[in-house]
């Protein structure tokens, strides 16, 4: 398994585990058993009634479980590629073997790119057949240890407790192999699991902290939603003052419900938090083309996983292509190989590449690359109809170059506001409806005609506007530089007063 290089301030952090699988295969029973016997501080009562995640302990080490069965938040997390978890546990019944939802869960896990293990449940049942269950897994391309693969598997019973200890030990082993780290000195970043409205308390949201620390007095932002951290509760519903990475917390007091699956960030000041909300709103106005599922990387940075299918003419070519793909992988963009095969690109490959459709109606497909192979006619026709991207190569560095361009195209982008100038308003000549004629002096940078401005009063933004006319020495000007006086007409709903500051800014995509 791939390990992640640690940063100077990074320390090991507890793993976040998502439990998935077919209905009635024992997910809830497994979680209930762990909760009753391994909960931190021994308090099990009413855990999931308040929060959809909880912390357990094994051999003195913490593990965070996402209690996904039945929660609306879980479906949203599936859509964003199990973005809150570090490791997945795929629960499969030893009685029934692989079922439809097992395959759906496995596909979601593969698309997310996180490591996983199989929990073979219900081994205490009279009809349990462990070897037959492992065989059905292999028949569906889920290759566990001992059956042609390296996916860890643990047989267990949530009724008797057999195998539970081994499961927890295996989870911690997988976590160690993947070097999960965090920086407690950073401001918290993470994922919104769910949100709801309490008639008495207001809007609350359950968060998973993936990096950094969250303290009372901070402010959290998720998209257009903002909340002061005044009331913060742990998974037991107890009020806390501080929480660190991998912890599930409930923050109460949001101005609007944050979206499930969205990324949140903590700020030390309300001003910085409001600036982040405004930057997000401006970014929505110039929305970029949809990219594949976006999540947090192991270091807390925004990242995207691109699923890919590789077809070659010979088995020996596959490792070389895999190595080229690894060279392109960064913290921002990584490729997840869904399948590798020999022979021409077929109709079945196209079907396997077809992904899900998000709430915005955007489809997320895997890309298919071929090396010294062709695309058969039926596959070509289906790819054109479904929008699956396919490309074939005969020179490996051209394949690598093309994938690098695809990675650059699909990497996460954010729009930020860059202040290009600020000016102090000295006089107000007239105010008529939304248009105001003002005089002032440029304090820094430049003031530009037809640009957007923030209106600042005592270091707080009170509104925004647009410069519709600009003059210097009573003559029209395109821009006025630092130190010069100017006359300006600003279009704004906010009434501007002497000593207010107007800040010229532009949106920059990074």
pLDDT single digits (tens) 105-153: 888 888 788 999 999 999 999 999 999 999 999 999 899 998 888 999 9
Q: Residue length, the chain?
A: 510
Q: What pLDDT was estimated at residue 358? A: 38
Name the pLDDT band for 168 (thresholds 50, 70, 90). very high
- Separation of alpha carbons 404 and 327, rounded Å: 9
pLDDT at 200 over 80: no
Q: What pLDDT was estimated at residue 8? A: 55
Domains and CATH numbers, the chain: 11-180 (3.40.50.300), 189-285 (2.40.30.10), 303-410 (3.40.50.10050), 415-509 (2.40.30.10)
Closest among 61, 75, 60, 59 to 18, alpha carbons compared? 75
- Separation of alpha carbons 284 and 374, rounded Å: 40
Report, as an integer, the average pLDDT of 2-21: 72
Report, as an integer, the average pLDDT of 240-256: 92
Q: What pLDDT was estimated at residue 15? A: 94
Task: For residue range 396-438, list pLDDT tens digits in order.
Answer: 888 889 998 888 887 776 667 888 999 999 999 998 888 999 9
Q: Which residues contact 286 (CB under 8 A, 6 or more apart)?
A: 415, 507
Q: Which residues contact 162 (CB under 8 A, 6 or more apart)?
A: 123, 124, 155, 156
Report the chain's mean pLDDT, rounded to a whole number: 82
pLDDT at 2 over 90: no
């Amino acid at each position: 398994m791939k390990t992640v290089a640690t940063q100077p301030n990074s320390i090991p952090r507890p793993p976040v585990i998502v439990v998935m699988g077919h209905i009635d295969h024992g997910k809830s029973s497994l979680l209930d058993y762990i909760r009753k016997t391994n909960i931190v501080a021994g308090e099990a009562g009413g855990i999931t009634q308040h929060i959809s995640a909880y912390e357990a302990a094994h051999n003195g080490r913490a593990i965070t479980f996402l209690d996904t069965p039945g929660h609306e938040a879980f479906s949203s997390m599936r859509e964003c590629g199990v973005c809150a978890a570090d490791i997945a546990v795929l629960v499969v019944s030893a009685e029934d073997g692989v079922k439809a939802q097992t395959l759906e869960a496995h596909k979601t896990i593969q698309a997310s790119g996180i490591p996983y293990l199989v929990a073979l449940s219900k081994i205490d049942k009279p009809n349990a057949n462990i070897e037959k269950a492992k065989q059905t897994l292999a028949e569906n391309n889920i290759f566990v240890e001992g059956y042609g693969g390296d996916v860890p598997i643990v047989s267990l019973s949530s009724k008797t407790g057999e195998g539970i200890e081994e499961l927890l030990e295996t989870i911690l082993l997988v976590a160690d192999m993947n070097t999960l780290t965090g920086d407690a000195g950073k401001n918290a970043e993470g994922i919104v699991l769910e949100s709801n409205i309490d008639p008495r308390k207001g809007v609350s949201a359950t968060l998973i902290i993936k990096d950094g620390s969250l303290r009372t007095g901070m402010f959290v932002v998720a998209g257009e939603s903002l909340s002061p951290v005044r009331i913060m509760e742990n998974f037991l519903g107890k009020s806390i003052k501080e929480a660190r990475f991998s912890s599930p917390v409930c923050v109460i007091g949001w101005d609007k419900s944050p979206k499930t699956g969205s990324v949140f960030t903590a700020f030390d000041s309300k001003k910085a938090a409001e600036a982040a909300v405004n930057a997000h709103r401006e970014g929505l106005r110039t929305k970029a083309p949809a990219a594949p599922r976006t999540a947090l990387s192991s270091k807390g940075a925004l990242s995207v996983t691109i699923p890919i299918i590789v077809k070659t003419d010979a088995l020996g070519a596959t490792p070389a292509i895999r190595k080229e793909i690894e060279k392109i992988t960064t913290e921002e963009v990584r490729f997840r190989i869904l399948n590798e095969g020999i022979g021409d690109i077929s109709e079945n490959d196209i079907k396997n590449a077809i992904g899900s459709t998000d709430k915005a109606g955007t489809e997320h497909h895997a890309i298919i690359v071929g090396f010294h192979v062709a695309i058969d006619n039926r596959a070509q026709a289906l790819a054109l109809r479904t929008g699956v991207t396919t490309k074939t190569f005969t020179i490996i560095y051209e394949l690598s170059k093309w994938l690098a361009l695809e990675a650059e195209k699909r990497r996460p982008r954010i729009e930020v506001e860059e202040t290009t100038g600020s000016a102090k308003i000295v006089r107000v000549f007239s105010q008529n409806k939304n248009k105001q004629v003002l005089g002032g002096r440029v304090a820094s940078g430049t003031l530009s005609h037809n640009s957007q401005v923030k209106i600042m009063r005592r270091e707080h933004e009170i509104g925004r506007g647009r410069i519709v006319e600009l003059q210097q020495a009573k003559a029209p000007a395109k821009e006025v530089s630092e130190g010069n006086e100017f006359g300006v007409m600003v279009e704004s709903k906010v009434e501007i007063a002497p000593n207010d500051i107007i800040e010229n800014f532009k949106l920059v995509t990074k």
